[in-house]
Amino acid sequence: MDYLDNIAFAILLVLGIGFFVKNINKLTRNIKLGKDIDRSDNKKARWKNMAMVAIGQSKMVKKPIAGVLHIIVYAGFIIVNIEVIEIIIDGLFGTHRVLSFLGGFYNFLIGSFELIAFLVLITVIIFWIRRMVIRIPRFWNKEMKGFPKNDALYILYFEMVLMSLFLLMNATDVHFQDMNSGNLISQFLSPLFNSFAPESLHIIERSAWWIHITGILVFLNYLYYSKHLHILLAFPNTFYANLNAKGKFNNLEAVTNEVKLMMDPNIDPFAAVPEGAENQVPGKFGASDVTDLNWVQLMNAYTCTECGRCTSACPANQTGKELSPRAIMMKTRDRLEEVGENISKNGELVDDGKQLLNDYISPEELWACTSCNACVEECPVNIDPLSIIIDMRRYLVMEQSAAPQELNMMMTNIENNGAPWQYNQMDRLNWKDE
């Protein structure tokens, strides 16, 4: 009968990790729905990028207050989770504080965990105040209604509860408090329980222990449904991020081939179609749905933690336009999830009559962009909303001829006289004599 706890724990652990693995598989399947793009070059620069931007949080501290607070939670997340190793061993084998044989070092570790847990708790409360009391505008844009707003709050509540449980668990551990070493924070909590009988204390300690580990496993499985996925994806996302100058937009290779054919005087326009190519459907130019985007763009969408730094820096958004780079990422993810669900249900993608363009992202949003790269510059995890906007503009212009009328005139001018305005190319040097 003594093993009941351990069996229950093992089942809980297997379920928790099992569901998580299932979700990760779904996540990778969905990301792989994207088109191929080669980001295997320049490994050294990529590792450096990841070390600086994801591990080193270099772009987070561009906003110093949020940056430093975030580093506390980030450090806390990594350090406090070392404690989870002990919890898992204790849970599986029925031991209690199995690592305490480390003696003074153990107490030093637990003391640091307590301090970090306390700092995280305070920080998360500050985060909540920034969001709900100070109401920092970027948390209140119109795309932050409903689930996105609640999602952010759930995460904060989760962290508050988990950190409190950890401290409570230590405060009610009579043996641990008796050692009076490593109880850096919990020693101030334990007097609150002075009047409790030892049995009640034991029950509280055990409950806190169980709820804490259960909470961690639930949180782990909440990630896939939440903006909080960034704690995992920030690393690959910075690794595979664009390394070129931000102003360099990719040249569509399919177009290069077409243009070369058009410009080559030796090409026979009446040449027979090559054998076997008669039924080939020409590729689509640009993107109208998530499957037209590349996998890095789709990973970007899952990585976005909806902090809104992009949107608050966006000149279009600042001046009241419909465009919000954060919403571009959120809508891409929502549509990708919908496509993923569709595949899970039907075994393959069955046309649902919807697409990313129009059903999620409107042309008005796309045409408000000045391609200024402020969103790309701001993103603390190197997400590139601009590349999605441009790919969708390409679809609008090259597949649908649906550019705004004034842009069509500009493009006609370039075609006819080599300038966006109606001036004759032969007049290009007139300024010299004016």
Looking up tokens 């950890």 gives: 166
Per-position x/- string for 274-313, each x denoting binding to other proteins as judged by CB under 8 A, each - no binding? -----------xx--------------------------x
Rule CB under 8 A: say whether 42 interacts with other proteins.
no
Rule CB under 8 A: say whether 61 interacts with other proteins.
no
Looking up tokens 């995460």 gives: 155
**Are 287 and 328 spatial neighbours (Cβ–Cβ below 8 Å)?**
no
DSSP 127-162: HHHHHHTS--GGGSSGGGSSHHHHHHHHHHHHHHHH
Tell me how crowded residue 124 is: count the other CB atoms within 10 A of its CB.
Answer: 23
Geometric angle at alpha carbon 48, from 42 and 53, rounded to 5°:
125
Tell me how crowded residue 67 is: count the other CB atoms within 10 A of its CB.
Answer: 15
Rule CB under 8 A: say whether 371 interacts with other proteins.
yes
CB 269 to other proteins: min, Å: 17
Rule CB under 8 A: say whether 271 interacts with other proteins.
no
Of residues 150 and 422, the one with the C-beta less far from other proteins: 422
CB 77 to other proteins: min, Å: 28
Q: Which stretch binds other proteins (CB under 8 A): 2-10, 36-44, 126-134, 248-256?
A: 248-256
DSSP 68: H
Rule CB under 8 A: say whether 38 interacts with other proteins.
no
CB 56 to other proteins: min, Å: 17
Please give the Cα distance from 320 to 411 (Å, whole number): 27
Sign of the dihedral defined by the CA atoms of residues 296, 297, 302, 306, in that order: positive
Rule CB under 8 A: say whether 211 interacts with other proteins.
no
The token duo for 36 is 């191929």
Rule CB under 8 A: say whether 29 interacts with other proteins.
no
Per-position x/- string for 228-247, each x denoting binding to other proteins as judged by CB under 8 A, each - no binding? ----------------xxxx
List 129, 259, 261, 349, residue binding other proteins (CB under 8 A) = 259
The Cα diameter of the chain in Å comes to 101
> Which residues in the 381-410 window bind other proteins by CB under 8 A?
390, 392-398, 403-404, 406-407, 409-410
User: Which residues, 6 or more positions from 35, have their beta carbon under 8 angstroms from its beta carbon?
Assistant: 291, 292, 293, 294, 295
Of residues 247 and 282, the one with the C-beta less far from other proteins: 247
The token duo for 324 is 């919000």
Q: Which residues bind other proteins (CB under 8 A)?
A: 244-249, 251-252, 255-256, 258-260, 262-263, 285-286, 313, 315-316, 318-323, 364, 367-374, 376-377, 390, 392-398, 403-404, 406-407, 409-411, 414-415, 418-421, 423, 425-432, 434
